[in-house]
Amino acid sequence: MKNGVQALIGAQWGDEGKGRVVDALARDADVVVRYQGGANAGHTVIVEGKKHVFHLLPSGMLYPDRLCVIGNGVVLDPEQFISEVNGLEPAPEKIGTRLVVSNNAHVVMPYHKQLDVLSEQARKTMRHGAVIGTTGRGIGSCYVDKYNRVGIRIEDLASPKILEEKLRMNVEEKNLILEKLYGVPGLNFDELYETSLSWGRFMERYIGDSSCEIDSAVKSGKKVLFEGAQGTLLDVDHGTYPFVTSSSCVSGGCCTGGALSPGRFDRVIGVAKAYCTRVGEGPFPTEDHGASGERLRERGAEYGATTGRPRRCGWLDIVALNYAVRINGFGVIALTKLDVLSGFDELKVCTGYEIDGLRSVGFPNSAYALDGVAPVYESFPSWWEDISKCRTFDELPVTARDYIGFIEKSTGVPVGLIGVGPGREDTIFRDF
Ligand code: IMP
């Protein structure tokens, strides 16, 4: 890994293939940090033909002798956490990997998941309800409690008295919402309290001060990788609001969610797919509803790692990518799934939008404005060769090299890593 402290950020609507890039970088990293989101993420890594999907654990867990950190900005579902830790074979302790969960991260309680689903269902029946198409993992409802200052933090799980106090208040309040608003049975405090204490007993050995852990790693010159979840266009501030997730997915989110000051980062890596996908609702200017979109979905196996939903597919959007470059300050781009573009009659790349008949190259980050844009495309020839065995840039067909060259020219950012297949080894590194 080239630089000391790096952030790896999704440049599109999530699902850019960050898991495999983190996996490639984690080989040389000492510390891997998750800093936002929760089990709504699904990071897939394929090692020796075996597929590993992490929703919560940092992707660095597959390497020995790493420190893996779940930062304060994460919302952690203990059930998911316990099942992922128990599913690791061999256990992290056996390979010398340490896992630290921030005492200040927030707990996704079962009622958060229930409220997430109920609120989406209710919106479907409302005349003016905007359905987001959430993953149902309780992410938004948990962040609501965090910002409403009633959330339960990880440290509370290991403090029976504080937990009792906070949980009583939450159960009382949530029961009002569940019973009076949604007309469903309320929560049973005793059951929930016992379950939460059992989570605390399991998690106790992992709870720590993630901020101090990261700080001392950076001070001692260790290589630290911040692993973003979701993507720039799903960021709660900078994405296509309201069709976004509830956390800060952009590079700035690393500072608050990972507790490291901006000046200590050496490089921000943007991960972009060679085309675009989106799950859930919201505008997607380059979505292809025809045979090309279908082909991208089938060839790219574009089905959600968390929910299994088919992803909406379309062409690379340079306008949106340039927006992500600006918001995040990418120093390099990792371009994934280039192999999926083999064998198309024509590749399209969106280089501008037409808004009310006028050409624009600016990205309107309001979902309502974006909904009305018409993409302006440039056309590129594809290639017919199987590129999955290429390991150097020069081995790629000239049309594939031109496609990458166009991305570099249009964004002003070098493409340093190219994914040419699903496996760990199917990667071209160019001065990365
Ligand atoms: P939530 O994060 O579950 O609240 O969902 C909000 C929106 O973000 C929905 O459109 C989801 O499909 C989308 N989303 C959340 N996590 C991911 C992800 O990891 N990849 C892609 N889309 C996601």
Q: What pLDDT digit, counting tens, does each position of 262-296 carry?
A: 999 999 999 999 999 999 899 999 999 999 999 99
What structural domains does the chain harbor?
A: 5-92+209-429 (3.90.170.10), 106-152+159-203 (1.10.300.10)
167, pLDDT greater than 70? yes
137: which 2 tokens? Answer: 């993992």
102 lines ligand 1 (CB under 6 A): no
- Kindly give the number of the ligand 1 atom that is closest to the alpha carbon of 279: 12
**Which range among 19-23, 191-195, 361-365 has the greatest average pLDDT?**
191-195
Residue 307, pLDDT score? 82
Q: How far is the CA of 270 from the centre of ligand 1 (A)?
A: 18
Percent of the chain with pLDDT strictly greater than 90: 82
Residue 204, pLDDT score? 96
Model pTM score = 0.96
| Helical (H) or strand (E) element with 225 | strand 224-227
- Kindly give the number of the ligand 1 atom that is closest to the alpha carbon of 234: 8
Q: How far is the CA of 281 from the centre of ligand 1 (A)?
A: 9
- 3-class SS of residue 282: coil
227 lines ligand 1 (CB under 6 A): no
154, pLDDT greater than 80? yes
Residue 304, pLDDT score? 87
Give the least confident one: 61-65, 99-103, 285-289, 425-429: 61-65
42 lines ligand 1 (CB under 6 A): yes
Q: How far is the CA of 155 from the centre of ligand 1 (A)?
A: 27
Residue 253, pLDDT score? 98
- Catalytic residue status for 15: yes
36 lines ligand 1 (CB under 6 A): no
Roughly what angle, to the nearest 10 degrees, separates helices 160-175 and 189-203?
140
Q: Band of the pLDDT at 260, cuts 50, 70, 90?
A: very high
Residue 2, pLDDT score? 65
- Kindly give the number of the ligand 1 atom that is closest to the alpha carbon of 307: 12
Q: Which has more confidence, 272 or 368? A: 272
Q: Which amino acid is at 45?
A: V
Q: How far is the CA of 280 from the centre of ligand 1 (A)?
A: 7
397: which 2 tokens? Answer: 């067909």
Q: Band of the pLDDT at 344, cuts 50, 70, 90?
A: very high
Residue 345, pLDDT score? 95
Q: Which of 23, 30, 43, 55 is catalytic?
A: 43
Reported as a single tens digit per residue, the pLDDT across 200-220 is 999 999 999 999 999 999 999
Residue 1, pLDDT score? 62
- Kindly give the number of the ligand 1 atom that is closest to the alpha carbon of 40: 16
336, pLDDT greater than 70? yes
- Catalytic residue status for 112: no
| Helical (H) or strand (E) element with 313 | strand 312-314
Q: Band of the pLDDT at 235, cuts 50, 70, 90?
A: very high
Alpha-carbon distances, residue 328 vs 9, 21, 162, 248, 271 (angstroms): 8, 17, 38, 11, 11
Reported as a single tens digit per residue, the pLDDT across 28-59 is 999 999 999 999 988 887 777 788 888 999 98
Q: Which of 311, 319, 325 is nearest to 375 (CA)?
A: 319
Q: What average pLDDT does range 298-314 have in this prediction?
A: 92
